[in-house]
Chain A
Amino acid sequence: MDYRFSPEEEAFRQEFISWLDDNLPEGWDPSRYQNYPRDDELAAAYRAFQKRLFDAGYAGMHYPKEYGGQGRGLVHEVIVMQTLANQCLELRIPGVITFGMAAPTILYCGNEEQKSTYIPRILDGTHIWCQGFSEPNAGSDVVNVSTRAVRDGDHYIVNGQKVWTSYAHLADYCILLVRTDPDAKKHRGLSYLLLDMKLPGVEIRPIKQITGDADFNEVYMEDVRVPVSMRVGEEGDGWRIAITTLMFERVLGDATMAAAYERNIERMTQMASRVRRGGKPVIENPVFRQQLAQAYVEVMVLKYHGLRNLSHQLQGGIPGPEGSIGKLLWSEPNQRITEAALAMQGPGGQVMRGSPWSIQDGFWQYAFLRAKGNTIEAGTSEIQRNIIGERVLGLPKDSSRAARQ
């Protein structure tokens, strides 16, 4: 057993850290968050920074060279992702769906033309992608998708509505789950399309969130004509593609979150040394020392469980439903950690960004609210536990769900 990077990997890590030092945007401060209050500015910064990574040979470390990647290992990609998460997570945010879902789906399941057209544009920052799975009546029950795609010669005519579509307002393309066969059993009637967001009939309406931001949207599609060449896989294969491709990149997401949370532990430790309670630094209070330590324990669980999964995958293991653990290990602890941070601040925990009384520029207030989405997005905690219970432990489906199939 060995937890270290190889000498070559470690040298690469050092090289990338020093490259990043010289190549972050002008005046970048890693300790700040939301440096770009306006989404269009954030999207522009993302594209510019991704281009810089691409030009320097740090984009898509594990993607094949013929599609603009570097043709190296998953470990190199993890090293890049973790370093970025530590220094400039914000610059990655508009690319979360692009890299977490769209790129791997196209790479693993797309045809040659789709791969050579879209992967390079993703890696060089030209395209941002969003994900059109959820609908008003297809949340956790995502196979209930009712957006219809009807074949008309070389096109599908798409009608329907998606919801909670993160970054749709910034996106050039959308990975879209549609129903092509209403008569087939629920999950068999689904197909997977790549949607150009600029096509006529696509309308985007922002949804304001608990944080006050509007990162996600409703997407309405009315008689949108999508070329059949934009279908990934076969007709009726949409569900299988949707669930299998996600698992391959999960280790990257877990590694990214672990690195970001390690940074947050440093932030929390500094905060607890500065903020006072009864005249004394919070860090001297035994209850809050326990909470800081517990936060660290949970981050280490995420980190080392993630590394174990990564190692399994590096040795050719196929990621399976046990990957659902990782989702639970970053989402639920983040809620507990941000709650602990607010508790440390006492009544000061109410002050948002923008006051001399704000603590750490209101980072934890924002993080606390944002974390409430963590156990909902990308499959709720309840869905993850269903997956683990049924597909890992072999427990039966409940009778109402079993009867539907």
Chain B
Amino acid sequence: MDIKLNDDQLEISRQARRFFENETPMEYVRAMFEDEKGFTDEIWGKMAELGWTAMCIPEAYDGLGLELLDLAVVLEEMGRAVVPGPFFSTVMLGGGGLAEAGSDAQKKEFLPRLAAGEIRGTLALHEPDAGGDLDYVRMEAKAEGGGFVLEGTKVFVPDAHVSDFLVVPALAKDGLTLFLVESGASGLAVSPLPTMDGTRKLCVVEFGGVEVGRDAVLAAPGQGNAPLDRALRRAQVGLCAECVGGAQKAMEVATEYAQVRIQFDQPIGAFQAIKHRCAQMYVEVESARSILYWAAWAQDHAEEEAAMAASVAKAYCSEMFTRTAASAIQVLGGTGFSWEHDIHFYLKRAKANEAALGDPVYHRERIAGLLAG
């Protein structure tokens, strides 16, 4: 038993913290929050140069072949700095979906470029009637000629507006199928949504009879569930890492304020009403970190508990982040309610992460299913 980050992971973590402090300060976050594209090519290029886009891609496809936990360390720091941009969608959703479902030829074609930061991808999963349920896919893939025609609407697709390809689950006659659709495909229309968290852009993607060839099939009809599930599990854990990092920062901001803000002639942190609130943040952030490490480890080392761990982590960490960010706002008082203070970006990211990749209700239902059938 050895439950701690190793020296390499600690070094990755320090490097990531330094990078985001220097390169993506809150001025950058604020600018990108309002920006339609949501990131700069300069920052994207630097992140790719550091090898972060290549971390979990197998070495055979020019990646670094690292474990999910290694990437989680970077994502935790990204969450801490509410870094905007399509890193998560590209690495965990587009890259993850492709890596889990693609053929060797498909992976050879796309993954090296993704690892190098040259292309971006995402996952177009949610449908309008699905709500927080990830299992509800009804978009039809009609077999036609040698290929398929995709018709329907996908919503809440992260960063589709800046993606070069989409991994698209759809229903063919024989069941769930995963397609790779390039963003230039004819009949594809992408429009951004005015979402609460401007640091994570979501889009509506309409498939107006998009024709794709056989070579666009990542997982054959009826074979889509397993790879999609694996990719989603890893992405859910990745999102938990963001949640832990974001909540850690919110807790620190609240605790620092409680030490310096004087009311009734003493720091407000001396009052148990505030002190216990801060203590509870610490309890939950550390608890979430413990669950995160287990879930990340399990994805690579304990297949038998990987699904349960991902759902436990997603249900716990995402709600924990929301509670912690909201609690920090309460500690900060009127300041916390202002646009000028940065804390609201954390609450908004927390709500985005809670809703993404299966909301807590969905994951608890999965847990109940795993426990009781």
* B272 and A328 contacting across the interface, CB-CB below 8 Å: no
Assembly CA distance A389 to B281 (angstroms): 10
* B259 and A394 contacting across the interface, CB-CB below 8 Å: yes
* A293 and B368 contacting across the interface, CB-CB below 8 Å: yes
Which parts of B267-309 form the interface with A (CB within 8 Å)? 267, 269-272, 274-276, 278-280, 282-283, 286-287, 290-291, 293-294, 297-298, 301-302
Residue from B3, B271, B365 having most chain A Cβ neighbours under 10 A: B3
Q: Which of chain B's residues have a CB closer than 8 A to the CB of A385? A: 272, 275-276, 279-280
* A3 and B294 contacting across the interface, CB-CB below 8 Å: yes
Per-residue 0/1 for B250-280: is the Cβ within 8 Å of any A Cβ (1 yes, 0 no)?
Answer: 0000010011000001110111101110111
Assembly CA distance A395 to B274 (angstroms): 10
Q: Which of chain B's residues have a CB closer than 8 A to the CB of A386? A: 272, 275-276, 279
Assembly CA distance A288 to B202 (angstroms): 33
Shortest Cβ distance from residue B115 to the other chain A in the assembled complex, whole angstroms: 24
* B69 and A1 contacting across the interface, CB-CB below 8 Å: yes
Complex: chain A residue closest to B254, CB-CB: A393
Complex: chain A residue closest to B252, CB-CB: A393
Assembly CA distance A56 to B217 (angstroms): 61
Cβ 8 A contact of B3, one of A292, A311, A329, A390: A311
* B5 and A301 contacting across the interface, CB-CB below 8 Å: no
Cβ 8 A contact of B4, one of A5, A315, A394, A396: A315
Complex: chain A residue closest to B268, CB-CB: A395
Shortest Cβ distance from residue B240 to the other chain A in the assembled complex, whole angstroms: 12
Shortest Cβ distance from residue B309 to the other chain A in the assembled complex, whole angstroms: 8
**Is A127 at the interface (CB under 8 A from chain B)?**
no
**Is A6 at the interface (CB under 8 A from chain B)?**
yes
Q: Which of chain A's residues have a CB closer than 8 A to the CB of B269? A: 389, 393, 395-396
Interface residues on B, range: 35 or more
Assembly CA distance A99 to B2 (angstroms): 26
Assembly CA distance A390 to B367 (angstroms): 36
Assembly CA distance A290 to B366 (angstroms): 9
Chain-B contact segment, one of A44-52, A232-240, A302-310, A366-374: A302-310
Assembly CA distance A314 to B2 (angstroms): 9
Assembly CA distance A402 to B69 (angstroms): 43
Q: Are A328 and B283 CB-contacts (below 8 A) given A3-B3, A301-B316? A: yes
* B312 and A297 contacting across the interface, CB-CB below 8 Å: yes
**Is B364 at the interface (CB under 8 A from chain A)?**
yes
* A305 and B255 contacting across the interface, CB-CB below 8 Å: no
Per-residue 0/1 for B312-328: is the Cβ within 8 Å of any A Cβ (1 yes, 0 no)?
Answer: 10011000000000000
**Is A272 at the interface (CB under 8 A from chain B)?**
yes
* B278 and A292 contacting across the interface, CB-CB below 8 Å: no
Q: Which of chain A's residues have a CB closer than 8 A to the CB of B105? A: none
* B1 and A3 contacting across the interface, CB-CB below 8 Å: yes
Assembly CA distance A223 to B294 (angstroms): 55
* A305 and B3 contacting across the interface, CB-CB below 8 Å: no
Q: Are A293 and B1 CB-contacts (below 8 A) given A3-B297, A396-B269? A: no
Q: Which of chain B's residues have a CB closer than 8 A to the CB of A314? A: 1
* A396 and B270 contacting across the interface, CB-CB below 8 Å: yes
* B275 and A389 contacting across the interface, CB-CB below 8 Å: yes
* A388 and B282 contacting across the interface, CB-CB below 8 Å: yes
Q: Which of chain A's residues have a CB closer than 8 A to the CB of B275? A: 385-386, 389-390, 395
Cβ 8 A contact of A395, one of B255, B265, B283: B255
* A395 and B267 contacting across the interface, CB-CB below 8 Å: yes
Assembly CA distance A250 to B294 (angstroms): 21
Per-residue 0/1 for B228-259: is the Cβ within 8 Å of any A Cβ (1 yes, 0 no)?
Answer: 00000000000000000000000000010011
Assembly CA distance A322 to B6 (angstroms): 21
Assembly CA distance A305 to B293 (angstroms): 10
* B365 and A312 contacting across the interface, CB-CB below 8 Å: no
Assembly CA distance A246 to B1 (angstroms): 23
Residues of chain A at interface, number, CB under 8 A: 52
Assembly CA distance A382 to B366 (angstroms): 34
> How many A-B contacts if CB must be within 8 Å?
161
* A304 and B290 contacting across the interface, CB-CB below 8 Å: yes
Assembly CA distance A272 to B371 (angstroms): 11
* A393 and B278 contacting across the interface, CB-CB below 8 Å: yes
**Is B361 at the interface (CB under 8 A from chain A)?**
yes
**Is A7 at the interface (CB under 8 A from chain B)?**
no
Q: Which of chain A's residues have a CB closer than 8 A to the CB of B4? A: 1, 308, 311-312, 315
* A4 and B1 contacting across the interface, CB-CB below 8 Å: yes
Q: Are A311 and B276 CB-contacts (below 8 A) given A290-B365, A297-B315, A395-B269? A: no
Complex: chain A residue closest to B364, CB-CB: A293
Which parts of B1-60 form the interface with A (CB within 8 Å)? 1-6
Q: Are A305 and B286 CB-contacts (below 8 A) given A297-B316, A385-B279? A: yes
Q: Which of chain B's residues have a CB closer than 8 A to the CB of A329? A: 283, 287
Shortest Cβ distance from residue A134 to the other chain B in the assembled complex, whole angstroms: 21
* A395 and B259 contacting across the interface, CB-CB below 8 Å: yes
Shortest Cβ distance from residue B241 to the other chain A in the assembled complex, whole angstroms: 14
Complex: chain A residue closest to B271, CB-CB: A398
Assembly CA distance A392 to B294 (angstroms): 24
Shortest Cβ distance from residue A32 to the other chain B in the assembled complex, whole angstroms: 22
* A1 and B368 contacting across the interface, CB-CB below 8 Å: no
Q: Which of chain A's residues have a CB closer than 8 A to the CB of B368? A: 283, 289-290, 292-293
Assembly CA distance A329 to B288 (angstroms): 12
Q: Which of chain A's residues have a CB closer than 8 A to the CB of B294? A: 3, 300, 304, 307
* B372 and A269 contacting across the interface, CB-CB below 8 Å: yes
Assembly CA distance A305 to B284 (angstroms): 10
Assembly CA distance A356 to B268 (angstroms): 55
Q: Are A296 and B367 CB-contacts (below 8 A) given A3-B297, A3-B302? A: yes
* B270 and A398 contacting across the interface, CB-CB below 8 Å: yes
Q: Are A5 and B367 CB-contacts (below 8 A) given A301-B287, A398-B272? A: no
**Chain A positions near chain B (C-beta within 8 angstroms):** 1-6, 9, 75, 265, 269, 272-273, 283, 286, 289-290, 292-294, 296-297, 300-301, 304-305, 307-308, 310-312, 314-315, 322, 325, 328-329, 382, 384-386, 388-390, 392-399, 402
19 CB < 8 A contacts A-B: A1-B3, A1-B69, A4-B302, A75-B1, A290-B361, A293-B365, A296-B367, A297-B312, A300-B316, A307-B294, A308-B4, A384-B279, A385-B276, A386-B276, A388-B279, A390-B275, A393-B278, A394-B255, A395-B275
Closest 5 CB pairs of A and B: A293-B364, A389-B275, A395-B269, A311-B3, A293-B367
Apart from A293-B367, A385-B276, A393-B279, list 17 A-B contacts with CB within 8 A.
A3-B1, A3-B3, A6-B1, A9-B1, A75-B1, A286-B365, A289-B364, A293-B363, A293-B368, A300-B291, A304-B293, A307-B3, A307-B290, A325-B282, A385-B280, A393-B278, A395-B258
